[in-house]
Each structure stands twice: as C-alpha cells, then as structure tokens.
Structure 1
Amino acid sequence: MLESLHVKNLALIDEQEITFTEGMNILTGETGAGKSILIGSVNLALGAKAGKDYIRTGADYALVELIFSLNDQQCSQIREMDLPIEEDKTLILQRKITPGRSICRANGESISAGQLKNLAGCLLDMYGQHEHQSLLKPAAYKKMLDDYIGEKVVKLKTALKDRLAQYRKYVEELENQNSDETVRTREAKLLAFEIEEIENAALNPEEDEQVEKRYRRLVNAKRMKETVYMVHGLTGYENEGSAGLTVGHALREIKTLRDFDEDIAPLIGQLTDIDDLLNDFNRSMAQYEDSLEFDEEEFVELEDRLNTLNHLKDKYGDTIASVLKAGEEKQEELDKLNNYEAYMSGLREKINERKQEILTLCGQISKLRKKASGPLTKKLKEAMVDLNFLDVEFSISVEEQEEDFSADGYDKVDFLISTNPGEELRPLWQIASGGELSRIMLAFKTVFADKDETDTLVFDEIDTGISGKTAWKVSEKLGRLARNHQIICITHLAQIAAMADTHFMIEKNIVKDRTVTSIREISADESLGELARLLGSGKLTQAVLNNAREMQETARKVKEE
C-alpha cells in the first residue's frame, strides 16, 4: 500500500506531502490545478523519464519520495531483486532530479534504472487516461490472456524460450555452413595445424602461473647475485679502488704518524675498527653470495617455455585453460569437416527435434489458452455488463498458426465484441469507441485485480467520455475494487468522487507572485461542497447540496452491500 507521497521543487509544487489511506482515495480539483503533476510525480519516482524541465524555477533539484507498506508477496519479490526492506516491511523509494542526472534510492541504497523498473511493477498498477489505447493493439490480447492463466503458462513459455534459442542456434549454424569443398579443405588444414601446435606444447592448466612464479624468482635471484657480487667487490681488498684496499692504505699511512704525536692514537684506533668491520662485512658478503642459487640453464628453459605459453595465450586465449578449450573446440570443428555429411545430417536432425519440441510446447500453451478463454470471457462480459454494457457480446478467439511460432507460442489471440444487438462479433480494435474502450479497460482491470497481488491501483481520469448512469456503474465498480485494494483515483465526476473514503483537493494559488499547486485532505463538509461543484453548479444552493448529499448516501449504501 502507498502510505505517503512527498514532492519538493517539482514543476508548480513547492513542497507537499500527502498521506493516503486504505480504500478509495479520491483527488479532485479545477482543470489546470495540477492533477497531472501529482500522477507525474508518482511516475517519476517509479522510473519515468526525467529532465531538468521538471525542476521548479529557481531550485537546484526536484525530489519525489514514496513510502510503501509491503505485503508478503511484495517482500518476497523485492528480496529476489536483492533490494533492502525494513523490518516493519516498509520501503522508501526516493528519486532526486538534478540538471545533469537523477539518483534513485530504495531504503537509502542506490538502485539502477533497470532495478527501479522491476520494482515499480510489483508496487502498484497505474491506469492512465490513455491506457485504454492498448486495447487497440492486438498484440496485447495474448499477454492479457496469459496473465489470467498465470504460473502454468509462464513455466511453459520459459521452456519454450529455451528450446527456441537452441533451435535458432542450430538454424543459424546450418545457414553459416560453407558448401565450397575447397574452402572446407583449407579450413581443415588450418585447424589441424593449430591443434598440433597446441598439442605439441603439452600444456598443463596451471602451468602458466607456476612457470611465471619460478621465472620471477630466478630473475630476481640473478639480479641479487649480480648486485651482491658488485658490492663484495666494492667493499673488498682485491679490486683497485675498493673500500678495503683504500682503508688499508689509509691505516698504514696514519700509523707512520705515531712516532711524531701520541694524540693521534685514538684516530688510529677508530680507523682500525673500521678496517676490522669492513673486513667482517666483506667475509659475510662472500658467504651470502655463495648462498644465492641461480641455474643459468634452468633460467633459459623457463624463459623459452614462458615465451611459448605467452604466444599460445596471445593466439588462442588469455589463460592456459582457454587455450586448451580452444583446442577442444577446434578439434570438434575439424571432426565436423572430416565427417561433413554426417555432421550436416545430425544438425538437420537436431533442428527437427527442437522444432517438434517447440510445437509440442506451443500446443500445450494453446490448450491452456483455449481452456482459459471461456471462463475469462464470462468474467469480462459480466464486468462489462456491470459497467452498463447491457447488450454486450464478447468472445476470445484463439487460432493456431503452427508455422508462425515464437517465444509466445503460435496462437493468434483476438478479442471479439459486439455492443449493439444484431451486430456480429468483430475485433475489439476495429469497432470500440474511446468511451467504450475506457470502460472495457476498467472491466479488465477489475477482473485481473482479483488475481493480482498488487495492493495499490492508481486511476488517472478514467471517467473520460462517460456520464450519467454509466458513471455510476464505473463508480460502483471502483467501490467494489476498493474493498480489497487501495484505490487512488483522479476524477472529474461527482458520481466517482462520492465513493471516496478519503477526499483530497488539488488547488492552484498565487503565493508571493508565484503559482503554487497544493494538495490537502478535505473534511466531510468540504467534500460535500466539492461534489456540488463537480455537479456543475456555479452556486452552492440547498438543492445542489441535497443532490450531492443524496449521492454520498447512495455511494455509502453501495460500499456496505
């Protein structure tokens, strides 16, 4: 259920918050007051395209926030999307729109446009004033029928989609075969060479990591040995200019001064210590140098092997496992070319097998559709009669077209209708008027709502093209829906507004020289006055008020039935 809507800096709305209730939430207001902005804000929060033009002039951003209390089915669906849900089953959906981008969050966690689209589908069902146009698209009829059937057809269509993908893969493979024997021979020679190249390398799946690790160790060992050798020479007593020879020479020279000045003795002692330390260091370096192992022959072998592995990975894959897999695939291709006729025969057999499986699944789906078409026809006809189609005839046609199969099966589904006595049934998309389509769509909504786990249904001016008794029928139908669903309905008709459990007024005012749209819940007395206005009275006379009061009483009785 949609608990509340918070809108800030959106078009004519400065900042508004509206708290919805269970049952029938009715929103009314003068033409141009901003009702479309309200529905638009809900659409924006649920992923509709947003642009900087939505941001109120002078503001840096626009913000829309929806708070839902979820049922168990919705919680399960949202958890499958890996989205967060509060312990109290609350979902806060927020969208912030800036000139450069928009940010969507669910319970504070950023979500993608794709996640938001999936999320919107399980939170509420929105019926806009032009949605009935979908009834003019025959492609929609099959989906409606399948939605009515439910899980059984979903499972069959999932299996059908899998078989169809395999079928198309084999067909494409068959179409891509080259009939030129010379070309096939050339391809076979190349494949044989590549297979031999991979096989001769005698690869091990984990070999590249092992070789690289050993190679890096030997490379470092070689560098360390070279450095240690150089340091040993620089600090030793053998090479000209080495530290050992230089210090030894300096020590011999300074000792000649002992006979001339006794005070030089400490300096001689210090230099002697340096000579001793350098001598000890040089011996230690010699021992460390002897401890370093470097096998030149092994290093060359590893370097050659590494070059071979890298060459194969550059040519056939990023890893040894990929190279080996490429070798297996090339062997399969070579086997196909060496046994070309058998391969082609097997491929055609697979195509025929998959086609038969597809036709079987399509047949099972068709059987379900034909079985469901009867009960659905009855329910839809009853719903249309409730909406003042007194002489309506309705039928669902399911026609098999075996050679025209797809992921939806091979049926052509059509909705046939006659709204006038004596007229033959004809496709719905050919004959229904705009006002009729609106009521027919509402009939569909009421039938499918009984199967729907979505708590909230939003209707945006579904009263287009209806009035009088028909308007009452629509009102009654919405009232019945509101028993088990939260209904949010924008309307211009008093008959529908009279059914309100909670009534909101949408108004447009001038505040500080700027136009501002506001939304507020109105009292019972104000609701009575608004009904009188919707009845077309420019002046609230007692007679008009009595009419509005009688309308409210009639609506109350309908809801109590």
Structure 2
Amino acid sequence: MLLELEVKNFALIDELYLQFDKGLNILTGETGAGKSIIIDAVNMAIGERADREFVRSGTNKCTIQALFNTDGIFGLKDLLGQYGIEEEQDHSLVVTREIYANGRSTGRINGTIVTQGVLKNITQKLIDIHGQHQHQSLLNTQSHIDLLDAFGGQEVEILLKEISIEYHNLTNLKSRLASICSNEIERERKIDLLKFQIQEIEAAQVSSGEEDALNQQKNRLANSEKIYKAVAEAYTELHEGNRQAPMIDALSKIINQLQHVTSYDEKLEYFHQSLEEVLYKLQDISRDIRDYKEEINFEPELLNEVESRLDTINNLKRKYGKSVDEVLHYFKSIQKELDFYQNSEVEITRLKKEIEEAQKKVVSKGLVLSNIRKKIASTFQQELTQILETLNMGKVSFEVAINHTYDSNNNFKVNEKGIDHVEFKISTNLGEPLKPLAKIASGGEMSRIMLALKTILANVDHIPTLIFDEIDTGISGRTAQVVGKNLYHISQNHQVICITHLPQIASLADSHYLIEKKQLDHSTKTEVNKINVEERIKEVGRLLGGELTDITLKHAKELIEQGNLKRKS
C-alpha cells in the first residue's frame, strides 16, 4: 500500500507531502489545477522514463519519494533479494527518484541505487496505474491474452513460466542452427578456402628454424668465391707460404730450438709448451680450413634452389603470419575450423532433433494452457458481462475468442505465451453480431470495459495499490454511480487512488484530496490537501454545478451521506 508521497520541484509542484489511507482515496480539482501532475510524479517514482521537462523551472533537480507498506505482497521478498535489497522488518519500502535538469536520473530502493529497469520490475508488484491512454491498450489484441491469463491466477502464471523457459531454449537452438545453415553457399566457399590453405601450407612442409638455416646457406652460396679466396689464402700461409718456410714449419723449427735449452730456465720451458699448444691448435684449424675449402660449392643451381625455398616461405608468411611459427600456428587453427565445418552436418542433424523435441515440449504445455484458458474464459466473459450490465451496458454481449496459431506448414506456431491467439469480441446492441473490440466500443464504453476488467482482476492479482486517472471519461448520471460503486468494491481489497471529475464517485471517498493551482508573486504552484467534511461538501457541490448555491450544497451533502450509507452497507 502507498503510505506517503513526497514531491519536490516537480513541474508546478514546489513541495508536496501526502499521506494516503486504505480504501478509496479520491483526488479532485479544477481543470488545469495539475491533477495529472500527481500521476506523472508517481509514474516517475515507479520507473517510467525520466523527462527533464518535469524539473521545476529555476532548480537543478526534482525529487520524488514514495513510502510503501509491503506486508503480504506475493514474491516481493525474493525479488528484492535477487537485487541485493534488504526488506525492512516493518515491511516498509522507500522508493526515491531524482531527475536532474541535464536529463540524468537516479533511482533508489531502501537506499540501494538501482537501474530504471530494476526499479520498474520491483514497483510493478506494488502499484498499477491506469491512465486515460490505457484505454487504447484494449484496442491492441496482443494485450487480451495477458488480461485473460491474469484472471487465471497462479495456475496460469506457473505454466507460463514453464512455457517461457522451454520457448527460450527452442529459440536458442534455432539460433545455433541458423548460424551454421545461414548461408550454405558461403559455408561451402569457406570449406574450399580452408582446404586450399591447408594444402598450400602442407605442400610447403615448412619447419620451425628452417628459414634461419636457409638464410645462412644463401649467404654462403652468394659469397662462395670471396669465402674460398680467404680460406685458400689462410691455408697457403699456414702450410705453403711465400716466405722461406710455411708458418707451421717455421713454428715447428722454433719449438725444436727451444726444446734444447728448456733445461736452463723455467721460462724457456713455459715458452716451449705454450708454442707447442699453439702449433697443435694451428694444425687442427688448418685441417678444418682445408676441409671447409673442399666443401665450398660454386653451383648457381643450388643458390637458386635456396632462394626459391625462401620465396615459398615468404609467400606463406605474407598470407598467414609474420613468421614460420605463426604460419604453423595458423595451420593448426584452420585444421580445427575445417573439422568444424565438415562435421557440421552431424551438428545440424543433432540440433534439428533437439529443436523437434523442444517444439514438442512447448506445444504440449501450450495445449494444456490452451485448455485452461478455455475453461477460465467462460467464467471471465460471464463475470465481465455481469459487471458491464451494471455499468449501463445492459444489452452487451462479450466473448473471449481463443484460436490456435499455425505457421505456413500448418504446424503449431509457438511463442513464449503458448500456441493461442486471444481476442475480445463484443456486441453493445441487441441483435448485432460480435465484432472485435476495437471496431465497436466508444470512448465511454472503453472506460467501462476497462473498469470491469480491473474489477474482476482485482480478485486474483496481488497488486495492493490501484490508481485510476479519470476512469470515468465519457460517462455520467446513473452510470457514474455504478462506476463509483465498482471502484468502492475494488477498494475493499485494494488501496484505490482515483482522480475524478464526477460527484457521484467523489461522494464515495474514504479520503478526499483537493488539488489546487495557486498564483504567487512571480510563479505558479500546485498544492494538494486532504479536506474535511465541510470542505468535501463544497468540492462535491462544485463538481455538481460549478457555482455553489444552497441547493447545490444541499445536494452535495446528500450525495456524501448516501455514499456513507453505501459504504456502511
């Protein structure tokens, strides 16, 4: 139940504080006094899209706070827990919405910052606002199935959740299948491309480190003449020489000479041994140089082969990676990709089978739900017709048409609500055939049909607070009294807040609030105050005739007294 509403700097409201009571709360006021602003403020509080135009001129933000008592609201505690919001021990819940002049807005529930979506998701369990524009929702046949299902209560709600889960599983499977089969030509093209790339890399038979070895070999072959000349000269100097004796022979002679005098001094022994080591090393190097010289290849064909091999590797690198290692990594990845595409036929077969099973589950549950809908539709249309008859639509006939939906192959067409299309049909005059609601009902009849719907749904939903913004559009006289009676009937199990311009409805109020627009020095503001018995008589009198006369006031007093008697009865 909505206990308190506090509004600051919202449109024409400077500062407003309201306390609402149980039962029927009526709000009235002159045309243009700002009655709709109250509804707009509540709408902002419960998560409707923020509009910076609501920020009062000259201020940087507006604030709306609503205090609810949530005791006994079905499923609310679990829902709050999902978003990390703790429920107060006294079951109070404070909703705060701030809208800034720059268009930004913030929402809080019990002090916890929440998104607009979360705010709306939670508050829809607390309050239901029916404005004049919602008459139009009846013209949309898509809303009819929701209204019928709401009448079905918890049994339908549980089954709808099960169908929704199965349907979303079905759509996910279909999406996965579509991603594989979306374009068969493209898929075949991709397979051909992958096969070509794999074959090209496989044919090259590249290996890690091969490129470095080839580059070294290329350098040797390209410079073989220079290398041979340098090596040959080194060998000649070591073994032949142009001097009196080759370098190695000269060194051997020196070692022999030192050998005869080593006994005379230790240093001579050191010189002898060191030179011997050098000689042995030179001899080893000389053999290696000779062998290397003999292996030097001057064949240009071999150089061409090495360069051709490097061209092959560079071509692969240009297409598939910056290095041979990257090319080999890419090779492994496209092998896996090719396996996926080639094995997709198996995956397609498996997905088609799962889709068939998922479709059967949705259809099976949809048929169960359809039978339940047909049963509750009978009671629904009977109760609605009875209420419409009391609302001065005595010759009305109302029917809930339920038909299965089919696709182009004459199979059941499923969605998250099952397999049914539901449409309300009505005849407002005796002898006329039933036709779709949108083609028959007038504005005043729409108001009464919506009120009738709210009346019968009030017995099955769990929303504690209902707000009606001029539900009485297009009605008057005796019909207005019946509308008031129905509103009061709803208020026995719900808190009802109703904006009206009809005295017959205002006279039934448990609590009556007057909305006034006041002119100040350089500004205009809207005020709302709860009025006492004498003030109520004047306000109901104004609603009766505008000008307050003794007769008008007397009539207003009688209406209020009759309303009190009706409430007591």
* Equivalent of residue 561 in structure 2, options 532, 553, 558: 553
Spell out, residue by residue over 1:36-75, the C-alpha distance to the aligned partner (whole angstroms, 9 max, x if none): 1111111111222323322222222211111111123233
* Equivalent of residue 519 in structure 1, options 501, 516, 528: 528
The answer to whether the 8 A contact 1:415-1:427 is kept is yes
The answer to whether the 8 A contact 1:55-1:98 is kept is yes
The answer to whether the 8 A contact 1:392-1:417 is kept is yes
1:159 counterpart = 2:163: no
Which residue number corresponds to residue 498 of structure 1?
Answer: 507
* Equivalent of residue 429 in structure 1, options 425, 435, 438: 438
1:508 partner SS: strand
Note closer, same or farther for the CA distance 1:544–1:192 as it changes in structure 2 (3 Å cut): farther
* Equivalent of residue 136 in structure 1, options 127, 139, 145: 139
Which residue number corresponds to residue 187 of structure 1?
Answer: 194
Note closer, same or farther for the CA distance 1:537–1:113 as it changes in structure 2 (3 Å cut): closer
How far the C-alpha of 1:2 sits from its partner, in A, is: 0.5
In structure 2, what is the Cα distance between the partners aligned to 1:43 and 1:193?
66
Which residue number corresponds to residue 95 of structure 1?
Answer: 97
Note closer, same or farther for the CA distance 1:90–1:383 as it changes in structure 2 (3 Å cut): same
Which residue number corresponds to residue 366 of structure 2?
Answer: 362
Which residue number corresponds to residue 549 of structure 2?
Answer: 540
Residue segments in structure 1 that go unaligned for 5+ positions in a row: 202-306, 317-325
2:526 partner SS: strand
1:416 counterpart = 2:425: yes
The 5 Å alignment of 1:369-518 reads 369-403=373-407, 404-518=413-527
The answer to whether the 8 A contact 2:28-2:500 is kept is yes
How far the C-alpha of 1:553 sits from its partner, in A, is: 2.5
The answer to whether the 8 A contact 1:170-1:350 is kept is no
Note closer, same or farther for the CA distance 1:330–1:121 as it changes in structure 2 (3 Å cut): farther
Note closer, same or farther for the CA distance 1:333–1:83 as it changes in structure 2 (3 Å cut): farther
The 5 Å alignment of 1:38-49 reads 38-49=38-49
In structure 2, what is the Cα distance between the partners aligned to 1:194 and 1:476?
85
How far the C-alpha of 1:397 sits from its partner, in A, is: 0.7
The answer to whether the 8 A contact 1:191-1:331 is kept is no
The answer to whether the 8 A contact 2:170-2:355 is kept is no
How far the C-alpha of 1:359 sits from its partner, in A, is: 3.0
In structure 1, what is the Cα distance between the partners aligned to 2:348 and 2:52?
58
Instruction: Give me the CA root mean square deviation.
Output: 3.1
In structure 1, what is the Cα distance between the partners aligned to 2:200 and 2:151?
58
Spell out, residue by residue over 1:144-172, the C-alpha distance to the aligned partner (whole angstroms, 9 max, x if none): 22222232233223323322332343244
How far the C-alpha of 1:413 sits from its partner, in A, is: 1.1
Quick check: 91-100 or 124-133, which moved more? Answer: 91-100
How far the C-alpha of 1:347 sits from its partner, in A, is: 4.5
Which residue number corresponds to residue 15 of structure 1?
Answer: 15
* Equivalent of residue 169 in structure 1, options 176, 180, 197: 176
Spell out, residue by residue over 1:112-155, the C-alpha distance to the aligned partner (whole angstroms, 9 max, x if none): 11111112211100000121110111111122222222322332
How far the C-alpha of 1:547 sits from its partner, in A, is: 1.6
2:88 partner SS: coil
In structure 2, what is the Cα distance between the partners aligned to 1:109 and 1:341?
51
Which residue number corresponds to residue 108 of structure 2?
Answer: 105
The answer to whether the 8 A contact 1:164-1:407 is kept is no
The answer to whether the 8 A contact 1:29-1:35 is kept is yes
Note closer, same or farther for the CA distance 1:367–1:333 as it changes in structure 2 (3 Å cut): farther
Note closer, same or farther for the CA distance 1:147–1:539 as it changes in structure 2 (3 Å cut): closer
Quick check: 495-504 or 381-390, which moved more? Answer: 381-390
Which residue number corresponds to residue 303 of structure 1?
Answer: none
State the one-letter code of the partner of 1:102. Answer: S
2:132 partner SS: coil
The answer to whether the 8 A contact 1:192-1:334 is kept is no
2:467 partner SS: strand
Note closer, same or farther for the CA distance 1:491–1:180 as it changes in structure 2 (3 Å cut): closer
In structure 2, what is the Cα distance between the partners aligned to 1:358 and 1:141?
21
Spell out, residue by residue over 1:419-460, the C-alpha distance to the aligned partner (whole angstroms, 9 max, x if none): 111111111111111110011011111111111111110111
In structure 2, what is the Cα distance between the partners aligned to 1:388 and 1:476?
13
Which residue number corresponds to residue 85 of structure 1?
Answer: 87
Quick check: 75-84 or 133-142, which moved more? Answer: 75-84
1:71 partner SS: coil
The answer to whether the 8 A contact 2:163-2:417 is kept is no
Quick check: 16-25 or 179-188, which moved more? Answer: 179-188
2:496 partner SS: strand
1:116 counterpart = 2:97: no
Note closer, same or farther for the CA distance 1:350–1:539 as it changes in structure 2 (3 Å cut): closer
Note closer, same or farther for the CA distance 1:180–1:132 as it changes in structure 2 (3 Å cut): closer
How far the C-alpha of 1:354 sits from its partner, in A, is: 3.5
The answer to whether the 8 A contact 1:435-1:464 is kept is yes
TM-score, normalised relative to structure 1: 0.72
Which residue number corresponds to residue 257 of structure 1?
Answer: none
In structure 2, what is the Cα distance between the partners aligned to 1:340 and 1:49?
46
In structure 2, what is the Cα distance between the partners aligned to 1:142 and 1:192?
59
Spell out, residue by residue over 1:351-383, the C-alpha distance to the aligned partner (whole angstroms, 9 max, x if none): 434433343333233222222211221222222
In structure 1, what is the Cα distance between the partners aligned to 2:449 and 2:198?
64
Paired residues, what number?
A: 439
Note closer, same or farther for the CA distance 1:347–1:483 as it changes in structure 2 (3 Å cut): closer
1:535 partner SS: helix
State the one-letter code of the partner of 2:162. Answer: K
Quick check: 1-10 or 344-353, which moved more? Answer: 344-353
The answer to whether the 8 A contact 1:171-1:351 is kept is no
In structure 1, what is the Cα distance between the partners aligned to 2:125 and 2:61?
28
The answer to whether the 8 A contact 1:153-1:368 is kept is no
How far the C-alpha of 1:462 sits from its partner, in A, is: 0.9
In structure 2, what is the Cα distance between the partners aligned to 1:78 and 1:125?
18
In structure 1, what is the Cα distance between the partners aligned to 2:338 and 2:383?
57
In structure 1, what is the Cα distance between the partners aligned to 2:504 and 2:151?
30
The 5 Å alignment of 1:233-252 reads none
Note closer, same or farther for the CA distance 1:27–1:330 as it changes in structure 2 (3 Å cut): farther
Note closer, same or farther for the CA distance 1:340–1:86 as it changes in structure 2 (3 Å cut): closer
How far the C-alpha of 1:530 sits from its partner, in A, is: 0.8
